[in-house]
Amino acid sequence: MPVPALSCGKTGIISLVLLVTLTLGCAHLSLEQYCLSVSGLPRSVEIPSVPFYPQHDHYCGPAAMAMVLQWTGENLSPRDLVPEIFTPSRKGSLQSALIGAARRHNRLAYPLQGLEALLTELAAGHPVIVLQNLGLRWFPRWHYSVSIGYDMAKDIVILHSGEEAGRHMGRTLFVRTWRRADYWGLVVLPTGQLPASADEHSYLKAALGVEQTEQWEVAARAYSAALDRWHSSLGALMGLGNCRYRLGDLLGAEQSFRHAAKAHPDSGAAFNNLAHVLAEQGRYAEAIEMATRAVAIGGASKHLYHQTLREIQAAGEAGPD
């Protein structure tokens, strides 16, 4: 994945002309043909509730993020976001800065890739920030837009882009400009909601991003939401347990780790963490039993399991059960 300096200047128009005249080859399927392969998509979608901010100077990143954050109920203008997102020396905004800003505002940032995922999100009513290269591979003009819909019959994608709200862009041009940015898109949602196109692992990575900002309650909500779709997901159960533990909710953490250990009896990590929360409740006999199970299972983290067992044995001898 390239890390482009994303300036979105007006020179984009010139390169657009270049692009249209120079690009050869065909962008294969029409949206309609394409959508037939993804079952259950409506023929046209336009999300009405996404506000529009025209882009000033090179601020397409802050403008795009302000639109989606407002849509999630966070009242911010592009100007508020400039210091968080914009890199003045590069006259642009990095993808990582967009993701970081979404997390800073307690939102889940889920990067996606490809047309199938994009259409699936739009059909679910989620706007998607898309990175486009309006120029060419060797003459890039990076640009962020917010896609808010599509129409199969007209073969278009609908974008809040630059100074134009609800711009209709032909599918061929859109796919070409998006392909040059490796089909990078970003869904921003209130935590607790799931992206429609999410797979378990990618979603959990997005939730982990929230956890790593140490917003334990927000992250716990993101993991709980994962369990609605992937009922016994090891990552979600462990993440939820770890967040509850950080919040001092030992009983809640115990419940999550127990669930994990039951659903994944080959996971040493589940037994190891369960042992910790039991020990901290002074339930040393149970804790030692669980830590012993973890050691018996072994695996890549077995040194941790041994350490757990030693610590709990020492603590159990020092204090009463």
Partner 1 sequence: MRFLQSMRKPVAGLVILALALSITWVPAHAAMVSTDEILKQNQRNLDREHLHMLLDRSEVRVQLEAWGVNSEEAKARVDNLTDQEIAEIAAQLDQMPAGSSAIGTLVGAALIVFLVLLVTDILGLTDVFSFIKKGK
State the residues that interact with partner 1 by CB under 8 A: 28-29, 113-116, 175, 179, 183, 201, 204-205, 208, 211-212, 234-235, 238-239, 242, 245, 248, 269, 272-273, 276, 280, 300-301, 304-305, 307-308, 311
Decide whether 113 or 292 has the Cβ nearer to partner 1.
113
126: CB partners within 8 A, 6+ apart: 47, 187, 189, 195, 196
Decide whether 106 or 273 has the Cβ nearer to partner 1.
273
Closest to 291 in 3D by CA, of 315, 318, 320: 315
**What is the closest distance, in whole angstroms, from the C-beta atom of residue 243 to partner 1 in the complex?**
8
Contact 20, 176 (CB under 8 A): no
Question: Long-range contacts: 82-86, Cβ < 8 Å, 24+?
Answer: 85/61, 86/58, 86/59, 86/61, 86/62
Decide whether 72 or 133 has the Cβ nearer to partner 1.
133
Looking at this protein, which amino acid is placed at residue 194?
A: L
**What is the closest distance, in whole angstroms, from the C-beta atom of residue 321 to partner 1 in the complex?**
18
Decide whether 142 or 305 has the Cβ nearer to partner 1.
305
Decide whether 58 or 176 has the Cβ nearer to partner 1.
176
**What is the closest distance, in whole angstroms, from the C-beta atom of residue 107 to partner 1 in the complex?**
19
For residue 81, the number of C-alpha atoms closer than 13 Å in the C-beta half-sphere is 34
Decide whether 154 or 179 has the Cβ nearer to partner 1.
179
Give residue for tokens 């993808």. 95
**What is the closest distance, in whole angstroms, from the C-beta atom of residue 300 to partner 1 in the complex?**
6
**What is the closest distance, in whole angstroms, from the C-beta atom of residue 282 to partner 1 in the complex?**
11
For residue 16, the number of C-alpha atoms closer than 13 Å in the C-beta half-sphere is 12
For 78-122, what is the HEC assignment?
A: HHHHHHHHEEHHHCEECHHHHHHHHHHCCEEEEEEECHHHHHHHH
**What is the closest distance, in whole angstroms, from the C-beta atom of residue 29 to partner 1 in the complex?**
7
Q: How far is CA 258 from the centre of its chain?
A: 27
Closest to 207 in 3D by CA, of 249, 196, 194, 246: 194
**What is the closest distance, in whole angstroms, from the C-beta atom of residue 26 to partner 1 in the complex?**
13
**What is the closest distance, in whole angstroms, from the C-beta atom of residue 25 to partner 1 in the complex?**
12
Decide whether 79 or 205 has the Cβ nearer to partner 1.
205
Decide whether 85 or 261 has the Cβ nearer to partner 1.
261
**What is the closest distance, in whole angstroms, from the C-beta atom of residue 80 to partner 1 in the complex?**
31
Decide whether 95 or 272 has the Cβ nearer to partner 1.
272
Where are the extended beta strands (E) located within the chain?
44-46, 86-87, 92-93, 107-113, 128-133, 142-151, 156-161, 164-170, 184-190
* 211 vs 195: CA distance, rounded Å: 18
